[in-house]
Amino acid sequence: MNILKNRDVLLAFAIVLLIGGVAARFPAFVRPGNLVNVFNDTSPLILLAIGQMIVILTKCIDLSVAANLALCGMAAALMNGMGVPLPLILLAVVLLGGALGAANGLLVWKLGIPSIVVTLGTMTIFRGTIFLMTGGAWVNAHQMSTAFKALPRMVFLGLPVMSWVALAAIALFFMLLTRTPLGRSFYAVGGNPHAAVYTGLDVGRTQCIAFVISGALAGLTGYLWVARYAVAYVDIAAGFELQVVAACVIGGIAIVGGAGSVIGAVLGALFLGVINNALPVIRISPFWQMAISGSAIVIAVTLNATQNRPKGRIILKEVEPT
């Protein structure tokens, strides 16, 4: 655990360094208002990264999160169009997202299909479903009610509601992972599935729960995303799943399962969020984003591997001088 904590500190340090570097040339970047903006912009990534991290802890991967987000976002927009009250919409997107996650989870649990195959498949199925629901049509700002659009932007104690949702999720899942039996079981199932069975844990069921959590978070984020950007269509958040996985890998979540922390995932997301927000400030085309998160994944996975290389037993003892 010490290594992990050190790692988190290193990553936090890197983020501060990054912000400092940008601020040295463009002091406006560190104005409190702008930092709030950066955090707010990164909130969706943080929410999804937390869900993804739990899935990865259990030795799975969820590539369908962005499609899930888009589908739930569209569902929220359509419900809003039908006049469904906002609290009900919020409840519905969380349930729908969770149900989509459960679909992934059940395929992994009950049929033992590798999660990468399941979620590659459901990723296209979810996006295709949006097309079937809308015929490819967009839901634009003027088709959404004011309250629907306003909620995520509403400022409360200096922070927009979207940021508060992210903070609440961080706190909630931090407690869940460190202080509840369910949280510990995610680590156990991914760290040593064989032993988990002997401890009375159901590996498949735990993995399924992880998918439900990841799905529910994606569903909630779907509403926030659509309401904030005031548009919903088939391709929103396309390719976002890669950023989410990148955030986890950068945050030191071991892709083989069993190791990682909420703090790591959040820091990983913030690292990418700061870069994404800094690019326009230092006048680099946003087209660099993709390559940067790609390189970040490659570099992070290389670093993770060299850090965690087994040290091997040390058998040899020096001959004692006689």
Partner 1 sequence: MEPILSLRGISKSFPGVKALQDVQLDLYPGQVTALIGENGAGKSTIVKVLTGIYQPEEGTITMDGQDLHFANAQDASKAGVTAIHQETVLFDELTVAENIWLGHAPRNRFGLIDKRAMRDGARDLLLGIGSDMDPDLRLGDLGIASKHLVAIARALSTDARVVVLDEPTAALSHKEIHELYDLVETLKAQGKAILFISHKFDEIFRIADRYTVFRDGQFVGAGAMQDVTEGQLVQMMVGRAVDQIFPTRTPQIGAPVLTVAGYDHPTEFADIRFTLHQGEILGFYGLVGAGRSEVMQALFGITTPSKGAVRIDDKFRVIRSTHDAISAGIVYVPEDRGRQGAIRGLPIFQNVTLPSLSRTGRGGFLRLAEEFKLARDYTRRLDLRAASLDQELGLLSGGNQQKVVIAKWLATKPRVIILDEPTKGIDIGSKAAVHEFMAELAAEGLAVIMVSSEIPEVLGMSDRVIVMREGRIVDEVTGGAMTPERLVRAAAGIAEAA
Partner 2 sequence: MTQTLRTGRAIPDRLQSPAMRALRSWESILVAVAIAIFVTNSFTSPYFLNAWNLSDATFNFTEKAMIALAMALLIISGEIDLSVASIIALASTAMGVAMQAGAGVPMLVLIGIGTGVLCGAFNGILVAGMGLPSIVVTIGTMSLFRGIAYIVLGDRAFTGYPPGFAYFGQGYVWWVFSFELVLFTVLAVIYWALLHRTSFGRAVYAIGNNATAAQFSGIRVARVKFILFLLTGLMSGIAAVCLTSRLGSTRPSIAAGFELEVVTMVVLGGVSILGGSGSILGVVLAALIMGMVTFGFGLLNVPGIVMSIFLGVLLISVIALPRLFGRK
User: Which residues in this chain contact partner 2 in the complex, by CB under 8 A?
Assistant: 61, 107, 111-114, 116-118, 120-125, 127-129, 131-132, 136, 234, 239, 242, 245-246, 249, 255-256, 285, 287-298, 301-302, 305
- 54 in contact with partner 1 (CB under 8 A): no
Q: Pick one of partner 1, partner 2, none as the site partner of residue 129 (Cβ within 5 to 8 A by kind).
A: partner 2
Helix (H) or strand (E) holding 39: helix 32-57
Task: Give the shortest CB-193-to-partner 1 separation in angstroms.
Answer: 10
In whole angstroms, what is the distance from residue 22 CA to residue 42 CA? 17
Task: Give the shortest CB-291-to-partner 2 separation in angstroms.
Answer: 3
Biggest CA pair distance of the chain: 89
Contact with partner 1 (CB under 8 A) among 78, 134, 202, 242: 202
Judged by CB, which is closer to partner 1: 132, or 315?
315
Chain Cα centroid distance, residue 28: 28
Q: Pick one of partner 2, partner 1, none as the site partner of residue 117 (Cβ within 5 to 8 A by kind).
A: partner 2
Task: Give the shortest CB-299-to-partner 2 separation in angstroms.
Answer: 8
Nearest to 210 by CA among 117, 106, 90, 124: 106
Tell me how many degrees the CA angle 143-148-153 measures, rounded to the nearest 5: 120
Contact with partner 1 (CB under 8 A) among 33, 132, 316, 321: 316
- 178 in contact with partner 1 (CB under 8 A): yes
**Radius of gyration of the chain from Cα atoms?**
21
Cβ neighbours of residue 3 closer than 8 Å, sequence gap 6 or more: 307
In whole angstroms, what is the distance from residue 68 CA to residue 126 CA? 6
In whole angstroms, what is the distance from residue 209 CA to residue 98 CA? 9
- 88 in contact with partner 1 (CB under 8 A): no
Q: Pick one of partner 2, partner 1, none as the site partner of residue 166 (Cβ within 5 to 8 A by kind).
A: none
Which of 19-27, 34-42, 195-203, 221-229 is the region at the interface with partner 1 (rule: CB under 8 A)?
Answer: 195-203
Under rule CB under 8 A, which residues in 242-281 are in contact with partner 1?
258-259
Which two three-digit tokens encode residue 150?
Answer: 């306003």
Q: Distances in Å between the alpha carbon of 153 and those of 11, 81, 165? A: 29, 20, 11
Q: Pick one of partner 2, partner 1, none as the site partner of residue 18 (Cβ within 5 to 8 A by kind).
A: none
- 157 in contact with partner 1 (CB under 8 A): no
The DSSP output letter for 30 is G
- 199 in contact with partner 1 (CB under 8 A): yes
In whole angstroms, what is the distance from residue 114 CA to residue 94 CA? 25
In whole angstroms, what is the distance from residue 65 CA to residue 82 CA? 25
Judged by CB, which is closer to partner 1: 121, or 191?
191
Give the binding site for partner 1 (CB under 8 A): 1-2, 175, 178-181, 184-185, 187-188, 191-192, 194-202, 258-259, 312-317, 319
